[in-house]
Structure 1
Amino acid sequence: HWLFGQVALETPDFLRLPGYVERHLGSGWKKLAGLSMILGTFGALLAYIIIGGKFLSELLGPVFGGSEFFYTLIYFSFGAFFIYRGVKPIAKLDVIFLISLFLIFSVIALSGLPYFKLKNLLASPSWDKLFLPYGPILFALWGATMIPEIEEMLGRDKKLLGKAIFVGVLIPILVYLFFIVAIVGVSGAQTSPDAISGLKPFLGEGIIGLGYLLGILATFTSFIALGLTLRKVFTFDFKINPSISFLLTAAVPLLLFLWGFQDFLSVISLVGGVAMGLEGILILLMYKKIRPNKVWLVLPLLLIFVLGMGYEIVYSLK
């Protein structure tokens, strides 16, 4: 993230990843960057539709009835509406969402304290699956595509970009770490893929309802932010009509869901390990172009991304 920030600061104009790649590596690389970013963002939007629809179904289904598919369509429809409206209403909602997330997570964490067991965190690892979390972790922490958005919001205060990136990376790491410790410490071996439903035997329906609300808010804000970014990529980097850009952004992930791509963990593993890994490689190549004396920093990171991509591809084909 910091390396991409350096590339952004040394590049005039407000571009997105494909535009930066074209400027520093050439038009041929832009096509690869565009394909990687578009497929990765489509995959991320699909993942949020899958898990967001499940959370909404678990929260409202027992009260109003209806299938998970029905609630997935509702979740998608609201997200598509905000992507269509643009960034201004989202900026106001984000503050409310963040405060709500903090309050709800605090209630869940305090409610789980009586059930927290340290031994749940010390379970023997499965060494054959040691690298299995690579893709999901990269998916959870990857925010490079948002850096041009941050640069644009800072305007003339671009010198603050480095600090913004540092804080923007550190806070999610700490929050995710606390979240993992809290969830696994309570549910242990019963931890579910969505993290929330596995807490039901311990915390009861009321607290779990708050957990589902937390999941909806967290995924919904990410769904909108990524959707807006992808729409801008289509509009500004690929010169596509804004209305068609919106239709592409909204329709493709929904069609993938309807086609049967509905396994959340498989989607985020492949998106994180392959698409975001490829974005990382392109960012490193651009940084090497503007800082040719920093090869010692670039090469080890390149190796990690290449090996990670290979692992996820091989594992997904098993």
Structure 2
Amino acid sequence: MLGVREWNIKCGKELYVVESKRDKWRAKCYSRNPKCNNNFRSDPPCNWYVYAVKKKNDNMWQITRWVDSHNCYGTVVGNNNRSLKSRDIATRIVHNMREDISYPIKQIRAFIKDQFHVDISYSKAWRARKEAIERIYGSWESNFRELPQYIAALQAANPGTVVEWLHAPARSSECHTFTYVFWVFGPSIKTFLHCMPVISVDGTYLKGSYRGKMLIAVTKNANKYVVPIAFAIVDEETVESWTWFFTQLWVHIAVHRGKKLCVISDRHKGIINALKNLQVWSENSVHQFCLRHIRSNLMQKFKVSRLKKLCWIIGIG
């Protein structure tokens, strides 16, 4: 009933829904809402009213009763309007979001102010932006459900791409819950043969509803450009997850080099444990710690600015 709400907004009025069912919908002036502040109630009560039913044949809504105007002073306070829902704003801005996914909240509020002459809160604009993104790209839940299809599409579009899943024990054979997933693109496997025998690994947080982690391995080519070579999604950075990641990294990538590798990382216990206890890595790699992480840890402890430069000079010297 977006049209009804927009009509009320243009009139500077608000409505509240009395009944909302699958086949009928009723609304009255917000001044008739029992929760409305008594200071805004009109005397006599506002007569505005709308009743709509859903037609069975064409699945469209038909307004069967409509009182054409409000006879109240209104309930709008501070140029805000409760009839303007975040889902209505999402409908208005979805085109803008398609053009620019980083469409900022400030511009959304300015756009709605220009269109409806209504001020909306930051939180309402944020919810509208979130819903518009979900309409375009899907929700967190739908994206995770589609992850297997997405990974399969990556394999189809990139010949030679390797994907490994580690599934959690499932009660039903029809539902497999994954714990870890690892993938490396086919071109990356071939590219690594011509890159420096150096691998840098790290983990990063996944933002959103699912607080997982992404593990990444990169290297450098002859022009000293960073080349991503392997990825994994895990629940947490643990000894188990890093051990599984390094196992897949060796089987599908590192084993093809045929020479000793250098692995650079921070001092995460999971990485140290995996490289120490996995025989193929302990025998065929040298583990070094990232100087940037060491410098960052040093500065957190001592907080002396001149040590930052000295640490870097010592490290690269």
Q: Which TM-score tier does this pair reach, normalised by the shorter chain?
A: under 0.3
Q: Which has the higher helix share?
A: 1
Q: Which has the higher strand share?
A: 2
Higher relative contact order (CA 8 A, sep 6+): 1
Q: Which structure has the larger Rg?
A: 2
TM-score, normalised with respect to structure 2: 0.19
Give the TM-score normalised by the residue count of structure 1. Answer: 0.19
